[in-house]
Amino acid sequence: MNLRKLILKYQYRSDKHDLISEFFLPCLSNSIIYERCIEYVTIKSLITLSFGFQNFNDKNAMIKIITGNKFRSSDLNILSKLFYHQKINSNDKDIVKNDKLNMLQYIINNKKFKLKIAIPRSEKLDGVFAEKMGIFKDVHNNIVAFIGTSNEAFDYQSRNFESIDVFTSWADKSRINIKTKDFDELWNNKIKYVRVYDFLEAEKKSLLKYAVDWATNTS
C-alpha cells in the first residue's frame, strides 16, 4: 500500500479518462483512510465503497463521510437499522438484491465506517450541504486529495460528464494541508454557517429528510 507509487494525473476528465479504474480504485486500494464530503449518499454507493476498500484489517482503517441531510426513504430506513444494529429484513435486502449489506454492517459494527451529517445553519446559506471533496491516506502518511465529482463512490451506474482536480502530499503539500485542515474542521464541527452531527444524533433530533429519488442521481 503506497499511494506515492501510483502514476496520477493532475486532472481526470470524462472525455479522456476512466475516473473509476484510472484514479478512484487504485487510490482506494492503496489507502487505509478515506475521507469524503458529498451532498448525497445511498446504500448502493456505500456498499460499492465498502467492497472497494480492501484494507479494513489495518487497525487504523477508516472510512469517514460527511453528507447532507437528505436521503431516499429506503436508504434512510436501512441506514438507521444498520447504525442501531437492528436486523435487516428480507424486504430491505431486496433493495440491493443480495447479501452485500453484510459487509456494510460489518464495518459499521467494527467502527470502521463513520457517517456525519452537515446542515447549513445561517441566513447566508439557504441551500444544502454540497461540498465535493475526497482524501486518501496510506500507511506511509502519503495523501491524495481530489475535488469535483458528485458521484458518491464513483459508481459505474452514476457516470456523469465531469472532471476532478487531484493534489498529492509529495507534489503539492500546501494544497494538501489546506484540504485536510478543511475536512478536519468540518468533521469536528468547527466551520461557520454549517452544523455537523453524528448520524445517530441527527436521526434522534429528526434532522434527516427524505429526498425525491431523482435528486440522489442513483438510477
Whether 166 and 11 have beta carbons less than 8 Å apart is answered as yes
Backbone angles phi, psi at 40, to 5 degrees: -130, 150
**Whole-number Å distance between alpha carbons of 198 and 117:** 6
- Cell numbers for 201, please give them: 444524533
Whether 143 and 137 have beta carbons less than 8 Å apart is answered as yes
Backbone angles phi, psi at 179, to 5 degrees: -65, -40
- Structural domains in the chain plus CATH codes: 3-216 (3.30.870.10)
**Whole-number Å distance between alpha carbons of 123 and 99:** 44
Whether 133 and 182 have beta carbons less than 8 Å apart is answered as yes
pTM: 0.88
Strand pairing of 33-38 and 133-137? antiparallel
Question: Which residue, chain included where needed, has cell 494544497?
Answer: 175
User: pLDDT (tens digit, 0 to 9) for every residue of the chain, 219 residues total?
Assistant: 899 999 999 999 888 888 888 999 999 999 999 999 998 898 888 988 888 887 888 889 999 999 999 999 989 999 999 999 887 765 655 555 556 788 888 899 999 999 999 998 865 556 788 889 999 999 999 999 999 875 655 555 556 667 899 999 999 999 999 999 999 999 999 998 899 999 999 999 999 988 765 454 443
Q: How far is CA 42 from the centre of its chain?
A: 10
**Whole-number Å distance between alpha carbons of 54 and 59:** 13
